[in-house]
């Protein structure tokens, strides 16, 4: 039974062929190094929110921009769908319990600057919030069919007094039925032959261009070639030279 998530369904929306290869053949798109700073910020934020969850209050950082209180429900959720023979799962950043006892997903995002308006959230994160609402709903939990995205971004200030940043909160309506329709379509895709690529998929365009030039796309060797003893003046390559990126490269 394939296990899908908001990110793999987003891949399906971008390029059915890359999605089909990712799930059915375990051929993933190449990935570059990922900065460690967002992960560090995320860890600190979640620890900060946990402190106030235990107190039953909202953190002062966002208490004037959010409603209700932090929920205590399980944040890793999933369900098996016997009709499409697949599982959908996801891990929410957080969840709000509103005054009417319904739940709303909450997600943390870091940015270099403030998002212009709620249309930014609707463009880039609407589907993710739709999926999270669907997961809550399918696990028998009451949902408000709204979601909150909290942005954290740096601002000018005196760095020796602490790194200054501001917070912006966007509230959006969610559509779990729309998310489920995409889930269904993705499962139908997996049960068929290799589909065409997405019109704007740069990965597929690159492979097609290489093939048109008679060039074969091969994976890199697992390790750099060893230097012969006759290579005078050459030193052994460092341990990460074969494509392994040190964890603190972007720290």
CA distances from residue 26 to 18, 19, 23, 62, 195 in whole angstroms, order as listed: 10, 10, 5, 41, 16
Q: Which residues of 176-187 are buried (b: 16+ CB within 10 A; e: fewer)?
A: beebbebbeebb
Beta strand 103-110 pairing with 146-154: parallel
For 164-217, how does the pLDDT look when each residue is reduced to its tens digit (9 = 90+)?
Answer: 999 999 999 999 999 999 999 999 999 999 999 999 999 999 888 888 887 766
pLDDT, tens digit, 9 for 90 and up, residues 12-53: 999 999 999 999 999 999 888 888 888 899 999 999 999 999
- Name the 3-class secondary structure at 159: helix
Q: Rounded to whole angstroms, how far apart are CA atoms 132 and 179?
A: 9
Q: Which domains does the chain have, with CATH numbers?
A: 3-190 (3.90.320.10)
Q: Which of 123, 140, 81, 131 is nearest to 105 (CA)?
A: 131
Looking at residue 221, its pLDDT comes to: 58
pTM for the model stands at: 0.83
CA distance 73 to 141: 9
Q: Rounded CA gap, 163 and 150, in Å? A: 18
Q: Are strands 86-91 and 3-4 parallel, antiparallel or unpaired?
A: parallel
Q: Which helix H or strand E contains 152, and what residues bound it?
A: strand 146-154
* pLDDT surpassing 60 at residue 241: no
User: How many C-beta atoms lie closer than 10 Å to residue 71's C-beta?
Assistant: 21
| Crossing angle (nearest 10°) for helices 6-14 and 16-24 | 130
In this predicted structure, the answer to whether residue 63 has a pLDDT above a threshold of 60 is yes
Q: What is the mean pLDDT of residues 221-226?
A: 55
**Is residue 225 over pLDDT 70?**
no
Residue 218's pLDDT is what?
63
Cβ 133 vs Cβ 127: under 8 Å: no
Q: Where are the alpha helices (DSSP H) in the chain?
A: 6-14, 16-24, 37-55, 118-124, 126-138, 176-190, 202-212
Task: Report, as an integer, the average pLDDT of 49-78.
Answer: 95
Instruction: Report pLDDT for 224.
Output: 53
Out of 116-120, 218-222, 239-243, give the one with best mean pLDDT. 116-120
- Which pLDDT band, with edges at 50, 70 and 90, does 219 fall under? low
pLDDT in tens, 95-108: 999 999 999 999 99
pLDDT at 34: 81
Contacts of 111 (CB under 8 A, 6+ apart): 151, 152, 153
Q: What integer pLDDT is reported at residue 32 of this predicted model? A: 82
pLDDT on residue 217: 61
Residues 145-155: tens digit of each pLDDT: 999 999 999 99
Per residue in 81-91, pLDDT (tens digit) is 999 999 999 99
Q: Is the pLDDT of residue 139 over 70?
A: yes
Task: Find where tokens 């979640």 sit.
Answer: 46
pLDDT at 240 over 80: no
Cβ atoms 162, 154 nearer than 8 A: no
Cα gap 88→3, rounded to integer Å: 6
Q: Is pLDDT above 50 for 231? A: no
The pLDDT score that the predictor gives to residue 208 is 86
Is the pLDDT at 246 greater than 70? The verdict is no
């Amino acid at each position: 039974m394939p296990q899908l998530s908001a990110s793999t369904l987003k891949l399906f929306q971008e390029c059915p062929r890359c999605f089909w290869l990712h799930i059915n053949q375990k051929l993933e798109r190449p990935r570059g190094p990922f900065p460690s700073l967002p992960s560090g910020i995320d860890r600190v934020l979640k620890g900060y929110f946990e402190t106030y969850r235990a107190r039953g209050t909202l953190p002062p950082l966002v208490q004037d921009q959010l409603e209700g209180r932090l929920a205590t429900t399980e944040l890793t959720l999933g369900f098996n769908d016997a009709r499409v023979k697949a599982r959908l799962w996801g891990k929410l950043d957080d969840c709000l319990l509103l005054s009417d006892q319904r739940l709303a997903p909450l997600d943390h995002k870091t940015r270099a600057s403030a998002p212009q308006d709620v249309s930014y959230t609707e463009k880039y994160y609407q589907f993710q919030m739709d999926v999270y609402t669907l997961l809550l709903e399918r696990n028998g939990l009451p949902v408000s069919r709204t979601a909150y995205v909290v942005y954290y971004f740096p601002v000018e200030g005196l760095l020796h007094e602490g790194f200054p940043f501001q917070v912006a909160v966007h509230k959006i309506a969610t559509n779990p039925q729309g998310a489920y329709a995409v889930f269904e379509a993705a499962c139908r895709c997996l049960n068929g032959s290799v589909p065409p690529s997405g019109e704007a998929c740069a990965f597929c365009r690159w492979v097609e261009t290489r093939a048109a030039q008679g060039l074969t796309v091969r994976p890199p060797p697992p390790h750099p070639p060893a230097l012969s003893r006759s290579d005078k003046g050459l030193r052994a390559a460092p341990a990460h030279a074969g494509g392994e990126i040190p964890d603190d490269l972007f720290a």
